[in-house]
Structure 1
Amino acid sequence: MIEKRTFKDLAHVNHEWLQARHHFSFGKYWDPARMGFGPIRVWNDDEIKPKTGFPMHGHQNMEIITYVREGAITHRDNMGNEGRTEAGDVQVMSAGTGVMHSEYNLEDEQTRLFQIWIEPRAPGGAPRWDAKAFPKGERAGQLEILASGFDEDISKGALKIGADARLYGATLSTGTRVEHRIADGAHVYLVGSAGQVEVNGEIVSARDSLAIRDISSLQIEAIEDAEFVFVEAWEPQN
């Protein structure tokens, strides 16, 4: 199963300072047919005006990943963490038993990002935050695991999350091909960030998405210079 959803078909909520597009039900956008994809609960495509952002607010029992597409986002939380994450880089937050945080665009330009929520492996646990630069040059032409809930990936430099999931990212030059074998039982959600790729015969432009199940592998080719990310996730085992 491969279900395509184009960017123009996403729900759009105008908050003036924030232009939010929702892949799944979130906030003011409610669609009982789109409550997530497996354990992937939220995928928001946000455009944040300069000198604005999300004031201090709370979460619990959710793994939250931010992939910055353009500009930068500055994070602060009640654990004493503060960090600025730039375009192409990733920050992760395990909300656990509860965390308060803010996310602001302190830049002079608009910030564009993907915000991804994944159900945790288990509720509770100490909240945590981390961020890391993933230089595009090092990721060019191949898939890289950016965040993971598995020790073997974390030991190789992936950011740690508390979910049975991996976040992959890649930049491909025109004509470059990559293949990814999908593990049994996985939900895969792929979103284009820039350019255009062909995935198993489906054309994915920037900010389009594919929901993928029961497919053994992904065959990805860049139609033009492109950047994309995808989550491969499994339902929590209770």
Structure 2
Amino acid sequence: MIERRSFDSLGGADHGWLKAKHHFSFSSYHDGLRMGWGALRVWNDDSIASNTGFPPHPHADMEIITYVREGAITHRDSLGNEGRTEAGDVQVMSAGSGITHSEYNLESDTTRIFQIWIIPDERGQAPSWGAKPFPTGERSGRFVPLASGFKEDADALPLRTNARVLGATLKAGETATYALGKRRYAYLVPAKGSVELNGLKINERDGAAILDEPVLEVKALEDVELVLVDTAP
């Protein structure tokens, strides 16, 4: 089963400095049919104006993954962590028992990110944060784990949940496959470009909710950059 969720059908908000699209219910946008997908709870497509951002605010018991599509995001938190994550790279904040953080675009141009929240397997663990570069050339033609709760994905940022966040870049006409385990939930979004997913066309920034598809075959209709989340129910 693959359900295409067109970009135009997504909920959203325009705060001036922040233009957001929500693949699932979030903040003032509520859709009882889109409360999550497996353990995936939030996927926000955010555009953040230059020299603006999210002021300090708290979180608890959530795995929060930020995939930077354009520009860069600067992170600070109550643990003393500071970091700047650039386009194509990823940061992971495990909110655990509680953490306060800010995320600012200190660049001269708009920063665009995917913010992905996944429910952790356990509550109340110590909070943490980390970031890592993932050069797009190293995921050319294949899906590469960017953040993962699986020990075998040693090069990925760690997650405290039975899930993976993967990235891939494909040239027009190229195909990549991903084996999805039984009863696994997957959600695919092309950050750039359009694809055919098991024969179904998915346009740039559309979402594809996937269940009971043993193998995902993605064919690039143009040069594409993809983000895929694979979670437990």
Same fold (TM over 0.5): yes
Distance 1:138 1:233 in 2: 23
Q: 2:142, 2:177 within 8 Å by CA — same for their partners in 1?
A: no
Amino acid at match of 1:180: Y
**In structure 2, how many angstroms separate the alpha carbons of the residues matched to 1:150 and 1:12?**
32
2:152 is paired with a residue whose SS is helix
**Secondary structure at 1:27's aligned position in 2?**
coil
Whole-Å separation in 2 of the counterparts to 1:209 and 1:123: 28
Deviations 1:68-112 (A, max 9, x none): 111110000010101111111100010000000000000000011
Instruction: Give the Å deviation of 1:139.
Output: 1.1
Q: Structure 1 CA distance, aligned partners of 2:230 and 2:195?
A: 18
The 8 Å contact of residues 7 and 206 in structure 2, kept in 1 or not, is answered as yes
Task: Provide the C-alpha distance between the structure 2 equivalents of 1:38 and 1:111, rounded to a whole number of angstroms.
Answer: 28
Equivalent residue letter for 1:138: E
CA–CA distance in structure 1, aligned partners of residues 192 and 202 of structure 2: 10
Distance in structure 2 (CA, Å) of the matches to 1:218 and 1:51: 39
**How far 1:3 moved relative to its partner?**
0.4
Does residue 178 in structure 1 map to residue 176 in structure 2?
yes
SS of the residue corresponding to residue 151 of structure 1 reads coil
Q: 1:231 aligns with which of 219, 229, 232?
A: 229
CA shift at 1:228, angstroms? 0.7
Partner of 1:122: 122
C-alpha separation in 1, matches of 2:57 and 2:12: 22
The alpha-carbon deviation at position 206 of structure 1 amounts to 1.3
- In the TM superposition, 1:12-31 aligns within 5 A as 12-31=12-31
Q: For structure 1, which runs of at least 5 residues remain unmatched after alignment? A: none
Output aligned runs, 1:141-152, within 5 Å: 141-152=141-152
**Aligned residue in 1 for 2:99:** 99
Deviation, structure 1 residue 31: 1.4
Residue by residue, what CA displacement relative to the aligned partner does 1:151-175 show, whole Å, maximum 9, x if unpaired?
Answer: 111x2x1000101000110000111
Q: Give the partner amino acid of 1:179.
A: T
RMSD: 0.7
Identity score, percent: 56
Find the aligned partners of 1:19 and 1:47 in 2 and give their Cα distance: 5
Q: Name 2:40's counterpart in structure 1.
A: 40
**What secondary structure, in the 3-state scheme, does the structure 2 residue paired with 1:109 have?**
coil
* 1:191 equivalent among 189, 192, 195: 189
- TM-score computed with the length of structure 1 as normaliser: 0.96
The alignment status of 1:218 with 2:216, answered yes or no, reads yes
Q: Separation in 1 of the partners of 2:70 and 2:203?
A: 16
Which ranges in structure 2 are unaligned for 5 or more consecutive residues?
none
Q: Aligned letter for 2:225?
A: E
What is the CA distance between 1:55 and its match in structure 2?
0.2
Within a 5 Å distance, the mapping from 1:131-146 to structure 2 comes to 131-146=131-146
| Aligned partner letter, 2:68 | V
Cα distance in 2 for residues equivalent to 1:142 and 1:2: 20
User: For 1:67 and 1:206, how far apart are their aligned partners in 2?
Assistant: 16
SS in 2 for 1:224: coil
Are 1:3 and 2:3 matched, yes or no? yes
TM superposition shift of 1:30: 1.1
- The one-letter code sitting in structure 1 at the alignment partner of 2:27 is G
* TM-score w.r.t. length of structure 2: 0.98
Q: CA deviation at 1:40?
A: 0.5
